[in-house]
Amino acid sequence: MAENGREASEPIQMFVAEESLEQVRLLQTYAQGLPGLDVTGTFLEGEALLRALQNGRAPHIVVLNLVLRDMDAIELLERAQGLALSKRPCVLVTSGARNGNIHEKLLALGVDHCLVKPYSMQNLFDRARLLCQKGGGRRAWLNWLIEEHLEQYGIGWGEGYWYMLKAVRRVVLAEHPVRMVEDVYNAVAQEEGVSMGAVESSLRRTLGEAKEAATPAFRQLERLQKSRGKKMTVGAFLNMVGQMVKNEYEGRVR
């Protein structure tokens, strides 16, 4: 059975394009330890990547940094649209920018996903697999959806990120209205082997960082909560994000 132009048993072929040779080598080294995935091309310059695509070396996915040595991803993707390719690969763009306008431009140019730095290698390759396979399972899809939302709201990488991800997941999967203390904070604390106070404190600190980042998506949530005459608390944030993720998740897994 073919999935995204690929037989299910066929290894995922990946191009990696980065401005940093060191980062290219790190990605290559990490990928070598992963089954079913081959990095078949590495590039520091967009011109070389475009030539490879033009010559019929289209992989299943291109992991593309926002900035290369000779052009940015937007210019590269605009030029790639004019290429006569027999198949078009999935594209995952990595970027240190949280600029919503840039991400919207990239998505309009056909990018399948934008991953904000810093990221873990495992997270990057998990997302690449999902884009190619659409077979990562319900748990993987749910985690991905949650991560997409957390990035939009300015939740940075770190301990609080993981607590927030697991907390939102518990809200999504709950079959009844959640009790934040018992069903979320305490459950995450037991899962992580820490105190409930540590989880609660970390979540509050992480929400505070998101408020300072003030991304467009987060400001929209705050306006909605304010229109209800309520403050943006951790519990409110978890419930709001959880409901949005739940709607998307249920739509995708039906």
**112-118 CB contacts, 8 Å cutoff, 24+ apart:** 113/148, 115/151, 116/151, 118/157
Q: What share of the chain is helix, strand, coil (3-state, %, to 5)?
A: 55, 15, 30
Give per-10-residue mean pLDDT for the chain (254 aa): 52 95 95 91 97 90 96 96 86 80 80 82 84 59 80 80 90 87 91 90 94 92 94 94 86 50
Which position has the token pair 């037989």? 7
Strand partners, 114: 93
Enter the tokens of residue 197: 């106070």
pTM score of the predicted model: 0.59
Query: b vs e for 158-195, b when ≥16 Cβ sit within 10 Å of the residue's Cβ?
Result: eebbebbbbbbbbbbeeeeebebeebbbbbbbeeeeee
pLDDT at 156: 75
pLDDT at 127: 80
pLDDT at 129: 83
Distance, CA of 142 to CA of 194 (rounded, Å): 24
Give the list of residues 6+ apart from residue 69 with CB closer than 8 angstroms, or none.
19, 44, 45
pLDDT at 73: 96
pLDDT at 136: 44
Distance, CA of 37 to CA of 17 (rounded, Å): 16
